[in-house]
């Protein structure tokens, strides 16, 4: 499943078992991105708490916008695991598979509000050229009426998914068993990406 020792659901004990149970996906199992962190349970707990706050909690960004950021980061980093997971999330939120397929290939190929396009281009550049000086980009967003709280949220979400991509790519985390050939989960499976999931 990956290049370091991974604790299975059956092997998990004590705090790790509690955390695996708490972070079990709605489809019934524990996703591989969770399992790979099992050797240090306190890391897993802190990470998952942060993830739930950042991605599912209140935010100046919509859930759809947060998933779009995740996809742009994954596509830029060539991270198939996150590309599949967050394309699936965007599909479950929009119910428009063709739109998601086009977005996944090139976010510029779909209709986006002008500010969303500018935001995603900023995310792409931040991911591709982290050494770049971004003051001008931030000032341009602010000139378009984007407030500081929203800019902070964009950078936090983009930074978070860059970290997760590195975790996946650095440890060789593989996709789970439930993915179809076109890169979506089996539709009858309940997923954490469903709009009514909390």
127-165 pLDDT, tens digit per residue, is 999 888 899 999 999 999 999 999 999 999 999 999 999
58-111 pLDDT, tens digit per residue, is 999 999 999 999 999 999 999 999 999 999 999 999 999 999 999 999 999 999
Q: Verify that 109 and 29 share a domain, yes or no.
A: no
Q: Is 191 among the domain residues?
A: no
Q: Verify that 137 and 51 share a domain, yes or no.
A: no
Q: Is 196 among the domain residues?
A: no
Q: Verify that 53 and 68 share a domain, yes or no.
A: no
Q: Is 168 among the domain residues?
A: yes
Q: Are 117 and 108 in contact (CB under 8 A)?
A: yes
Q: Verify that 124 and 172 share a domain, yes or no.
A: yes
End-to-end CA distance of the chain: 28
Q: Which domain holds residue 145?
A: 58-185
Q: Verify that 51 and 117 share a domain, yes or no.
A: no
Looking at residue 198, its pLDDT comes to 55
Three-state DSSP class for 8?
coil
Paired tokens of 2: 């990956």
Residue 184 has pLDDT above 70, yes or no: yes
DSSP-derived letter for residue 60 is S
Looking at residue 193, its pLDDT comes to 77
Mean pLDDT of the chain: 94
CA distance 130 to 95: 33
Residue 196 has pLDDT above 90, yes or no: no
Using only C-alpha atoms, the chain has a radius of gyration, in whole angstroms, of 17
* Domain stop point among 9, 41, 57: 57
Q: Is 3 among the domain residues?
A: yes
Q: Verify that 46 and 24 share a domain, yes or no.
A: yes
Q: Verify that 27 and 68 share a domain, yes or no.
A: no
Q: Are 62 and 158 in contact (CB under 8 A)?
A: no
Instruction: Provide the number of structural domains found in the chain.
Output: 2
pTM above 0.75, yes or no: yes
Paired tokens of 188: 């009858």
Q: Is 194 among the domain residues?
A: no
Residue 172: which CATH number? 1.20.1290.10
Decide: residue 178, CB within 10 A, 0-12 exposed, 13-18 middle, 19+ buried. Answer: middle
Q: Verify that 14 and 68 share a domain, yes or no.
A: no
């Amino acid at each position: 499943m990956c290049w370091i020792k991974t604790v299975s659901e059956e092997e998990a004990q004590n705090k790790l078992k509690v955390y695996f149970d708490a972070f079990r996906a709605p489809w019934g199992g524990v996703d591989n991105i969770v399992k790979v962190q099992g050797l240090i349970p306190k890391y897993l707990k802190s990470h998952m708490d942060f993830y739930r706050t950042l991605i599912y909690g209140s935010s100046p960004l919509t859930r759809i916008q947060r998933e779009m950021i995740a996809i742009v980061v994954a596509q830029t980093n060539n991270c198939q695991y996150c590309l599949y997971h967050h394309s699936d999330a965007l599909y479950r939120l929009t119910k428009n598979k063709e739109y998601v397929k086009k977005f996944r290939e090139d976010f510029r190929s779909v209709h986006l509000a002008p500010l969303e396009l500018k935001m995603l281009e900023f995310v792409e550049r931040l991911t591709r050229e982290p050494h770049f000086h971004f003051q001008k980009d931030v000032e341009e967003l602010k000139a378009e009426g984007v407030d500081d709280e929203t800019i902070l949220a964009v950078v936090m979400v983009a930074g978070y998914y860059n970290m997760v991509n590195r975790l996946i790519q650095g440890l060789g985390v593989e996709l789970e068993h439930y993915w179809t050939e076109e890169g979506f989960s089996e539709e009858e499976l309940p997923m954490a990406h469903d709009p009514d999931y909390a």
